[in-house]
Chain A
Amino acid sequence: MKRLVESSGVEVAFREVDVVTTGTFGAMCSSGAIINVGHSDPPIKIENAWINDVPISHPGAAVDLYIGATAMSERQPFEYGGGHVIEDLVSGKEVELKATSYGTDCYPRAHVKTRLTKDDLNQFYLLNFRNCYQRYNCAVNGRDETIYTYMGKLLPRLRNATFSGAGELNPLMNDPDYETIGIGTRIFLGGAQGYVIGEGTQHDPQNRFGTIMVRGDATKMSPEFLRGASFTRYGTTLYVGLGIPIPILNEGLAKKTAIRDEEIFTSVVDYGVPRKDRPKLAQVSYKELKSGKITVGDKRIRVSSLSSLKTARKIAGTLKSWIAQGEFFLTAPVERLPVDSVFKPMRQTEETPFVANVMQEAVTCSESEAVQAIAERIVTRSVNHIVVVDGNGKLTGIVTSWDITRALAQGKTALADIVTRRVITAKLNEPLETASKRMAQHNISALPVIDNEKKVLGIVTAEDVSKLLGR
């Protein structure tokens, strides 16, 4: 379609193309499967359940369970989780169910342990409450250390970038006004046929971050399109393969489905900043993302995807051949996806403390001062940390009362000899919790607060933090 519109125009494309198939294969954390395991004899009203050591939720009556993709194995956390349990069941493997209960008059049993395959289940439906993000952020890390996120392993100081999503192949991107997508739309899901059952959670159509909720019979699915996955130090998830056929009902849709990667933009976001609204450093197109290099400021950064373009293409191709062979029939949605929902942040009734809330004025000195003078300042100002600054108030080091005591004992007089120059710092708008964690991590009791130009704004101490956080 994309090439046809380019070469022959929208009108011809509209006449010649009936359906455009799309596909995506990526990590979709808000996925899971609902299963019914049948009744044991005597019966049990399951209160807690585990499959292969992964805690399984029990949202309903006695033996209905929901395997959440991100639930992690108690024995191998971060390596095996709900996504892997779903993949194992789909592959026909046997899994171990353990369940406990308090026992009732009608459900007397307190423990059960058994092995199951998908053939032993009454229902096994993939039931994903948020899939198929229309597009997603491109992630980088501005911090000085490597971080592990749901966007993968991010090297320090913007040394790599990751992105997710299939760009021009993405289902929702090809029908951005959801003319053909809604409740009842039949789709490709995990290698079988499934359905859209409504808008996904956090559906945010106005910002082109639409999502869908989907359901499909998992017993018919294939592990090629449904894979358990592990993100180091983040957790487990499920890679879901999903494709939507878009019927070309009007010229408008012919034009929309001709969308190219160069027309789809997303933001490069600094995941090193521990806030909900992370700084956006640049705008890039999916074309640049797929090229392997992006530009942020004056930096060229290597970028790679987390979702599989190869499998996305295979999904779109499979869907196409199913339709051509009459194995798949398109459906009109009973109700279209909403185009006006708003994605609200959490209403917080308790205030979250930030560094700015507890920061105090920093007692400073310059490097040319004598140890004796600093010792006096520590006593008169009754502080434990003196921040060393240059003539412009910029951070150059830190000395503690302990450093001074030791220097005096050893007869050292020059401050320059005892200053710690690799200073761990905090930012004004940083949550107190992360600052406090950093202090614990480095086993220190204060952090100078600096701005982006390294100018010292104040100091936050462990003492002040524990007063406020009560720990």
Chain B
Amino acid sequence: MVRILLRFSENIVEKPITSQIILELRVPINIITAHVDSKGGEVLAEVPDESLVKVVKAFRERGATVSIPKLIEIDSEKCISCGACLTLCPVEAITMDEDASVVFNQEKCLGSTCSACVDACPSRAIKSVKQNNSELTANKAH
């Protein structure tokens, strides 16, 4: 799966673009977070790797801006399990387990569009990294 960040301007935010694309392309699009109001919308979604190009193309054709956010990673060598990042995460992607080790769940993480934890890490163990080749692939959709 690849994560994509969709931005809808004021003019198109009322249109049912996402559902149209799901129906038309018969591709599962998993919405992770969505902030939408009358002034526009920002949606973080997940699509299967193999349908990335056609999905991105379809959104762009309908006037949405598509970008590929970077993934967040925690360098386990650098992480000292202090916990300073824990309370900053809006989706509890970082937790502390029984033996006081800090555990990161990349599935839950919102990616570089959030980054709330990054500047809170005293060890500078939290970094954003590119999703595998997906940026290149997505740009083929132009």
Contact string, A267-305, partner B, CB cutoff 8 A, digits 1/0? 000000000000000000000000010000000001111
CB-based contact A306/B87 at 8 Å? no
Specify which chain B residues have a CB less than 8 angstroms from the CB of A307 in the assembled complex: 82
Q: Are A306 and B101 interface neighbours, CB within 8 A?
A: no
Closest Cβ–Cβ distance, residue B108 to chain A (whole Å) = 16
Knowing A308-B80, A309-B100, say if A239 contacts B122 (CB, 8 Å): yes
> Could you tell me how many residues of chain B have their Cβ less than 8 Å away from some Cβ of chain A?
19
A311, B80: Cβ atoms under 8 Å?
A: yes
A162 to B86, CA, bound (A): 10
Q: Give the Cβ gap from A249 to chain B, nearest Cβ, in Å.
A: 30
Question: Whole-angstrom distance from the CB of B70 to the nearest CB of chain A?
Answer: 19
Q: Are A153 and B122 in contact (CB under 8 A)?
A: no
B88 touches A155 (CB 8 A): yes
Alpha-carbon separation in the docked complex, A27 to B88 (Å):
19
Instruction: Give residues of chain A (215-265) contacting chain B, Cβ–Cβ below 8 Å.
Output: 227, 229-232, 237, 239
**Contact partner, B122, options A231, A302, A303, A304, Cβ 8 Å:** A231
Bound Cα distance from A311 to B82, whole angstroms: 9
| Chain B, range 17-52, C-beta contacts under 8 Å to A | none
Q: Which of B91-123 contact A (CB under 8 A)?
A: 96, 99-102, 119-120, 122-123
The answer to whether the Cβ of B84 comes within 8 Å of any Cβ in the partner chain is yes
User: Once bound together, how far apart are the Cα atoms of A292 and B97, in whole Å?
Assistant: 11
**Cα-based distance from A292 to B96 in the complex (angstroms):** 9
| CB–CB A305/B83 < 8 A | yes
Identify B84's interface contact among A79, A304, A309, CB under 8 A: A304
State A161–B86 Cα separation when bound (angstroms): 10
Q: How far is the CB of B54 from chain A (nearest CB, A)?
A: 40
Bound together, the chains give a CA A227 to CA B77 distance in angstroms of 12
Assembled-state Cα–Cα distance A160/B89 (Å):
10
Chain A residues whose CB sits within 8 angstroms of the CB of B120 once the complex forms: 152-153, 232
Task: Count contacts between A and B, CB distance < 8 Å.
Answer: 69
Residue of A nearest to B117 (CB): A153
A308 touching B122 in the complex, CB below 8 Å, given contacts A155-B88, A292-B96 = no
B83 cross-chain contacts in A, Cβ below 8 A: 304-306, 308-309
Is A25 in the interface zone, CB < 8 Å from B?
A: yes
With CB as the reference atom, state the residue of chain B lying closest to A305: B83
A313 within 8 A of B: yes
Q: Are B100 and A162 in contact (CB under 8 A)?
A: no
Shortest Cβ distance from A234 into B: residue: B122
B80 touches A153 (CB 8 A): no
Q: Which of B80, B81, B122 has the most CB of A within 10 A?
A: B122
Contacts of B96 in A (CB 8 A): 292, 304
Q: Is A93 an interface residue (CB 8 A)?
A: no
Say yes or no: is B62 at the interface (Cβ < 8 Å to chain A): no
B60 contacts A by Cβ under 8 Å: no
Instruction: For residue A137, give the distance in angstroms from its CB to the closest CB of chain B.
Output: 15
Q: Which chain A residues border B84 with CB–CB below 8 Å?
A: 152-153, 162, 304-306
Smallest CB gap from A307: residue in B: B82
The answer to the question of A15 belonging to the interface, with a C-beta cut-off of 8 Å to chain B, is: no
- Report yes or no: A227 in contact with B99, Cβ–Cβ below 8 A: no
Given that A153-B120, A231-B122 are contacting pairs, would A308 and B81 also be in contact in the complex, using a CB cutoff of 8 Å?
A: yes
Q: Which B residues are CB-close (under 8 A) to A308?
A: 80-83, 100
Is B124 interfacial (CB-CB < 8 Å)? yes
Q: CB-defined interface of A8-44 with B at 8 Å, one 1/0 digit per residue?
A: 0000000000000000011100000000000000000
Inter-chain CA distance A25–B122, complex, in Å, is: 13
Chain A residue at minimum C-beta to C-beta distance from B99: A310
Given contacts A308-B81, A308-B100, A310-B100, contact A232 B87 (CB under 8 A): no
Contact present for B87 and A25 (CB under 8 Å): no
CA distance A334 to B117 in the complex (A): 46
Mark interface residues in A51-90 (1 if CB within 8 Å of B CB, else 0). 0000000000000000000000000000100000000000
Q: Is the CB of B88 within 8 A of A229?
A: no
Which of A27, A302, A309, A311 is in CB contact (< 8 Å) with B87?
A: A302
Cβ of A230: which chain B residues have Cβ within 8 Å of it? 122, 124
Which of B81, B83, B86, B88: most chain A Cβ within 10 A?
B83
What residue of chain B has the Cβ atom nearest to residue A232's Cβ?
Answer: B119
Expressed in whole angstroms, the minimum distance between the Cβ of A168 and any Cβ of chain B is 13
In the complex, which residue of chain B has the Cβ closest to the Cβ of A228? B123
- CB distance B81 to A27 under 8 Å? no
Whether A25 touches B80, Cβ cut-off 8 Å, given contacts A229-B123, A309-B100, is yes
Min CB distance, A403 to chain B, in Å? 26
Give the docked Cα–Cα distance between A89 and B84 (Å): 26
Distance, CA A26 to CA B80, complexed state (A): 10
- Kindly list chain B residues whose C-beta atoms are within 8 Å of the C-beta of A160: 87-88
Q: How far apart are the CA atoms of A395 and B24 in the complex, in Å? A: 55
Q: How far is the CA of A310 from the CA of B76 in the complex (A)?
A: 14
- Which of B84, B85, B101, B102 has the largest number of chain A CB atoms within 10 A? B84
Identify 16 new A-B residue pairs, CB closer than 8 A, beyond the known A153-B88, A155-B88, A230-B122.
Answer: A153-B84, A153-B120, A155-B87, A160-B87, A161-B87, A227-B80, A227-B123, A230-B124, A292-B96, A302-B87, A305-B82, A307-B82, A310-B99, A310-B100, A310-B102, A311-B80
The 7 closest A-B pairs by CB, nearest first: A304-B86, A160-B87, A229-B122, A310-B100, A153-B120, A309-B100, A304-B83
24 CB contacts below 8 A, A to B, read A27-B122, A152-B84, A152-B122, A153-B88, A153-B119, A155-B87, A155-B88, A227-B80, A230-B124, A237-B122, A239-B80, A239-B82, A239-B122, A303-B87, A304-B86, A306-B122, A308-B82, A309-B81, A309-B83, A309-B100, A310-B80, A310-B99, A310-B100, A313-B100
